[in-house]
Amino acid sequence: MTEPTQESMQTYSRGQIEQVVGLDATALGTIRDAFIALGQGKVVQPPILSMAIEEANGEVDVKTAHIQGLKHFAIKISPGFFNNPARGLPSLNGLMVVFSAETGLAKALLDDGGYLTAIRTALAGAVAAEALSRPDSKRVALIGAGEQASLQLEALRLVRDIESVDVWARDKERGERFARDTEQRLGLTVRSHDSLHAVCQNADIIITATPSHTPLLEYSMLPEGVHVTAMGSDSPEKRELEADVLTDCDYFVCDSRAQSEINGELKGLDEDQAKACEVYELGNLLADGRRLREGEKNRGEQTETATDTRITVADLTGTGVQDTAIASLALARLAQR
């Protein structure tokens, strides 16, 4: 009798992964389906494992999840060492190990350097905007001018017909450079602003993509009918939204309430504010087919409500189910090649 042989684990570089995974409709659907599975209770997702390496101004997060019915699951290791730019090194890094969900054997090492995390984060922003923003949204305000701000904008264009962009960054020169480059690359009208009030005043969608430790966005800055996607707060010390944004908006939605209370915007609320904030989870809304801007479900019918002035807010801390979903897509496409 021949003994079964174990296949060797494949290793794929960032360059190989970039060739097969990007911001496309299939990848968007993969992340949307992952949130739906989460909302349906078909996901095992343990809490994030976080470790600080204080002497090097570093941190490491480990995320994972198993989606029932999926052939693989991924474990992502994501270091952030924030003194690295002074050494000419990137501050964020990472890789994913993909395992068989049937045998537990390691199938692939995706040495992506954080690329897949950036892609799945941008796609999650698009999923949230598709579910929560007005369908006719055309004007975007970007708070932050880094890589993720750019990716969020590109992913958003998969679900909304964007015409103009306003951007604010702490570094004025960086914001202006971002505006010039984005206008040339995407063919949109892009303006840089010195003031947060100015950048927000005409927005249909506001995206905050910063590592800020102090709140940037106040409720008074938000125009009627706007949708806000906040994705910068992913650790206990980070925060982008003032408490009144959460308590005074019409709908506050997060990718994971448990994570938002530890790493996201909910951690900034005191007891009274927390009681005043009704919280929805994105996966539950998608699984139920519930669209908040179309009114509440009433005996199987949609009630007619004036929804254009409603303000919606999404807090995205990044979930393990997104990592397993995007890693599984990457492995399938790499195998095809």
Residue showing tokens 């730019």: 85
Tokens, residue 138? 């055309």
DSSP for 60-112 reads: EEEEEEEETT-SEEEEEEEEEETTGGGGT--SB--EEEEEETTT--EEEEEE-
Residue showing tokens 């998608």: 286
Cβ-Cβ contacts under 8 Å for 34 (sequence gap 6 or more): 43, 67, 321, 322, 324, 325
Please tell me the predicted confidence (pLDDT) of residue 303. 45
Helix axes of 115-132 and 147-156: crossing angle, nearest 10 degrees: 50
Asked if residues 228 and 142 have their Cβ atoms less than 8 Å apart, the reply is no
Tokens, residue 183? 């206008």
**Burial group, residue 316, by CB count within 10 angstroms (0-12, 13-18, 19+):** buried
> The whole model's pTM is what?
0.92
Report the Cα–Cα distance between both ends of the chain, in Å, rounded.
Answer: 33
Tell me the pLDDT of the chain (337 aa) as tens digits.
Answer: 444 456 789 999 999 999 999 999 999 999 999 999 999 999 999 999 999 999 999 999 999 999 999 999 999 999 989 899 889 998 888 999 999 999 999 999 999 999 999 999 999 999 999 999 999 999 999 999 999 999 999 999 999 999 999 999 999 999 999 999 999 999 999 999 999 999 999 999 999 999 899 999 999 999 999 999 999 988 888 899 999 999 999 999 999 999 999 999 999 898 899 888 999 999 999 999 998 887 544 334 444 444 489 999 999 999 999 999 999 999 999 999 8
Please tell me the predicted confidence (pLDDT) of residue 159. 98
Please tell me the predicted confidence (pLDDT) of residue 295. 55
